């Protein structure tokens, strides 16, 4: 029977990674006597092991078998749950993830790490003082007479009738029988009565059923667990009977096989070489083919609630109805139908808008997918630094676009690592300052307007403002006599190579990373702010758009060109009052906006455009803000506000400072989307190089890449 197992590999990979996340989160909260949690961890490992065996990922199967054995001892109460064993299991989860990724990508892996963890597992198992049931049975199965003579063994009769399509789901009965044989002495009786004529056989169908006899010290529940993967696709009956083996049926209808003998003949028991573990049967070629085709399988999918899909289907139905109505009007149109046409177009607009919003909701995922990695991260770093740290997660159900979530993960990791290393003080210092010995790091996410805000805060010592200022002066970033507000001083932390760490560690303090964090956040159209109180802690606020696909923007006209300014960055728009204009040296013009002096940037100058509106006195000003700094963009006209679909400029040309992307307007023309942080960067460069002539500045503005 030939079945292409490779088609099921993506589903196995996705379920395995979910199982690993469940194991990791459960291990972090595991307490002695928590049997339900141990059972859930064991089930996850058992499922991964079973799937790996099905697809021929033998290294994964072998390693997971050790993990499963250790968990089995905890589950049966033969081993106490200790912090040491939990750490070994957490390291094992890392190795399982590594081996599954290797199986997916067909690449080499860190064999030393796997070997070291395997050694720790074996040492833990040997030091437990008691062997697992599987190990006892393995020894008994080497001597059948000794096995049947044991008083603690039972005999089970198993009636297994798989559905004909079982093989199509990627399951092979032989793997089930091999797992049963691991528990003791197994005899199989194959029922061939439903085999059709040779000419009528479908090679993807399964026509056999089996009566199995298993002599084992395992419990009935342990025997039943072998069939967990297929219990929805078969008829299964397991009965405990006397220890006498079943009498073989009459010849001609059934064929009897001792699986232990078959396994020995095929060197199944030889664990020294995982590649020799595959059974010698007709499916071996299929497994080899599946192994070959698994390379570079990408797992990229979204689990969507049925309610979202139903809503999308309903909207498509409404759209089809509207389209049919408009088509009917168009086939025989008269001016007396203009009212119906207008109504139909309005309905089409409404349907399209709702459809767009519904599709965007499908891409939205709870931010818990990004937050799930941090309990383990903080746990490991707390052990490494010798600090007591509690992680508090709030707002994990706040939804964010999948693309944004995938790209924000690494910046959040760096911020959390910094909070552990720089933010939380050692226990003795905290106690001396009247704080509890255990520090707290909080992750919170919430919606604010059309954006999402992620806060990473700690109750540590806060940021030393004077130390940051002095370090910036030492590096020549600012002048010694500079007057800066707190937020401007804290922004210095994001300067390339900036670090106030007294000691370089492998956690942080090398002067790299924070500038990359800021750049990555800005590339997503977001911004980061820092708040800190000495002795009380710090808070890093990351403000992000909900999605990268659609932008709420303000259309403006400059000369003959139309630009789009993201609404998220606009503070206000106003008509310039010439009495509030101040001209300073270097051709820089400031506008007095209440208590602030805001630099005015003529957009036509930045991009070398010809326009009639060159006088600032009565110009239109769009005040935008990024990184705590404001500038006024001088434009010719304010147009409509609308949502626009973002097209990447980098993918089609190159990244240009001051431009974040482009879009296609309703009339078919292309409009560039202004990048507020980039515009401000251009303004600062202009102010710092005010002697540079405008021609060379224009070349810098539109030509230099990030």
Q: Which residues are catalytic?
A: 46, 68, 418
Residue 348 burial by CB count (10 A; 0-12/13-18/19+): exposed, middle or buried? middle
**What DSSP line would sit under 146-165, residue for residue?**
HHHH-TT-EEEEEEEEE-TT
Neighbours of 197 (CB within 10 A): 6
Q: Tokens in use for 519?
A: 């750049």
Q: What is d(CA 596, CA 689) in angstroms, rounded to the nearest whole number?
A: 23
Whats the size of the chain, residue-wise?
706
Residue 109 burial by CB count (10 A; 0-12/13-18/19+): exposed, middle or buried? middle
The separation between CA 120 and the C-alpha centre of its own chain, rounded to angstroms, equals 29
Neighbours of 271 (CB within 10 A): 10
In the three-class reduction of DSSP (H, G, I as helix; E, B as strand; rest coil), residue 83 is classed as: helix
**Nearest CA to 69 among 123, 15, 143, 142?**
123
User: Which DSSP letter does residue 545 get?
Assistant: E
Give me the residues paired with residue 663 across strands: 671
Q: What is d(CA 323, CA 345) in angstroms, rounded to the nearest whole number?
A: 9
Contact 259, 226 (CB under 8 A): no
Q: What is d(CA 78, CA 105) in angstroms, rounded to the nearest whole number?
A: 38
Q: What is d(CA 250, CA 192) in angstroms, rounded to the nearest whole number?
A: 13
Interior/surface letters 142-166, b for 16+ CB within 10 angstroms, e for the rest: eeeeebbebeebbbbbbebebeeeb
Backbone dihedral angles phi then psi of residue 48, each to the nearest 5 degrees = -65, -40
**Longest Cα–Cα distance in the chain:** 109
Number of H helices, E strands in the chain: 24, 23
**What DSSP line would sit under 438-500, residue for residue?**
SEEEEEEEEEETTEEEEEEEE-SS---HHHHHHHHHHTTSS-TT----HHHHHHGGGSTT---
Residue 208 burial by CB count (10 A; 0-12/13-18/19+): exposed, middle or buried? middle
Helix (H) or strand (E) holding 558: strand 550-558
**Interior angle at CA 673, CA 670 and CA 677, nearest 5:** 160
Q: What angle, rounded to 10 degrees, do the helices at 83-105 and 35-54 form?
A: 20
Name the H helices within 207-272: 220-225, 259-265
Contact 404, 547 (CB under 8 A): yes
Q: What is d(CA 425, CA 387) in angstroms, rounded to the nearest whole number?
A: 8
Integer Rg of the chain from CA: 33
Q: What is d(CA 284, CA 279) in angstroms, rounded to the nearest whole number?
A: 7
């Amino acid at each position: 029977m030939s079945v292409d197992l490779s088609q099921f590999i993506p589903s196995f990979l996705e379920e395995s990674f979910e199982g690993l996340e469940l194991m990791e989160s459960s291990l972090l909260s595991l307490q002695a006597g928590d049997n339900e949690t141990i059972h859930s961890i064991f089930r996850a490992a058992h499922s991964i092991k079973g799937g790996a065996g099905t697809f021929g990922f033998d290294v994964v199967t072998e390693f997971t078998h050790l993990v499963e054995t250790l968990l089995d001892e905890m589950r049966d109460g033969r081993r106490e749950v200790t912090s040491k064993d939990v750490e070994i299991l957490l390291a094992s989860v890392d190795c399982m993830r590594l081996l599954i990724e290797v199986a997916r990508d067909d690449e080499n892996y860190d064999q030393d790490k796997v070997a070291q963890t395997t050694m720790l597992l074996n040492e833990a198992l040997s030091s437990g003082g008691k062997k697992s049931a599987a190990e006892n049975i393995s020894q008994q199965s080497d001597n059948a007479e000794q096995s049947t003579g044991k008083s603690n063994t039972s005999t089970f009769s198993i009636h297994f009738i798989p559905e004909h399509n079982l093989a199509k789901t990627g399951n092979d009965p032989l793997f089930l029988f091999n797992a049963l044989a691991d528990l003791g002495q197994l005899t199989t009786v194959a029922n061939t009565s439903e085999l059709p004529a040779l000419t009528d056989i479908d090679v993807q169908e399964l026509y056999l059923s089996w009566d199995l006899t298993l002599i084992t010290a395992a419990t009935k529940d342990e025997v039943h667990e072998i069939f967990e993967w297929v219990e929805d696709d078969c008829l299964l009956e397991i009965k405990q009977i006397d220890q006498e083996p079943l009498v073989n049926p009459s010849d001609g209808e059934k064929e009897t096989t001792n699986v232990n003998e078959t396994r020995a003949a095929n060197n199944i028991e030889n664990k020294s070489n995982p590649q020799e573990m595959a059974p010698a049967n007709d499916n071996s070629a299929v497994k080899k083919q599946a192994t070959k085709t698994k390379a570079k399988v990408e797992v990229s999918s979204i689990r969507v609630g049925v309610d979202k899909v139903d809503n999308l289907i309903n909207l498509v139905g409404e759209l089809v109805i509207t389209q049919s109505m408009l088509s009917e009007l168009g086939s025989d149109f008269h001016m007396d139908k203009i009212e119906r046409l207008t109504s139909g177009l309005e309905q089409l607009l409404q349907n399209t808008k709702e459809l767009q919003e519904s599709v965007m909701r499908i891409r939205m995922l709870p931010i818990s997918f990004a937050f799930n990695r941090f309990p383990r991260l903080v746990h490991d770093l707390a052990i490494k630094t010798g600090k007591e740290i509690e992680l508090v997660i709030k707002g994990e159900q706040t939804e964010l676009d999948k693309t944004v979530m995938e790209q924000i993960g690494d910046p959040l990791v760096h911020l959390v690592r910094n909070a552990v290393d720089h933010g939380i003080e050692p226990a003795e210092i905290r106690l001396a300052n009247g704080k509890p010995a255990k520090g707290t790091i909080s992750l919170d996410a919430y919606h604010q307007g059309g954006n999402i805000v992620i806060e990473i805060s700690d109750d540590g010592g806060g940021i030393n403002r004077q130390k940051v200022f002095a370090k910036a002066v030492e590096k020549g970033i600012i002048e010694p006599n500079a007057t800066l507000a707190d937020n401007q001083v804290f922004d210095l932390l994001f300067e390339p190579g900036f670090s106030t760490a007294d000691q370089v560690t492998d956690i942080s303090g090398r002067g790299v990373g924070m500038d990359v964090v800021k750049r990555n956040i800005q590339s997503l159209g977001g911004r980061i702010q820092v708040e800190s109180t000495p002795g009380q802690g710090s808070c890093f606020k990351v403000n992000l758009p909900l999605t990268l696909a659609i932008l709420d923007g303000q259309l403006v006209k400059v000369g003959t060109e139309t630009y789009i300014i993201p609404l998220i960055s606009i503070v206000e728009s106003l008509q310039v009052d010439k009495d509030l204009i101040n001209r300073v040296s270097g051709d820089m013009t400031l506008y007095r906006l209440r208590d602030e002096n805001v630099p005015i940037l003529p957009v036509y100058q930045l991009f070398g455009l010809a326009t009639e509106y060159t006088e600032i006195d009565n110009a239109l000003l769009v005040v935008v803000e990024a990184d705590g700094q404001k500038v006024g963009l001088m434009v010719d006209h304010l147009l409509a506000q609308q949502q626009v679909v973002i097209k990447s400029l980098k993918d089609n040309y190159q990244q240009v400072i001051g431009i974040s992307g482009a879009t296609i307007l309703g009339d078919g023309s292309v409009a560039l989307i202004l990048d507020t942080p980039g515009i401000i960067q251009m303004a600062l460069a202009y102010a710092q190089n005010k002697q540079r002539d405008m021609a060379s500045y224009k070349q810098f503005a539109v030509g230099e890449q990030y």
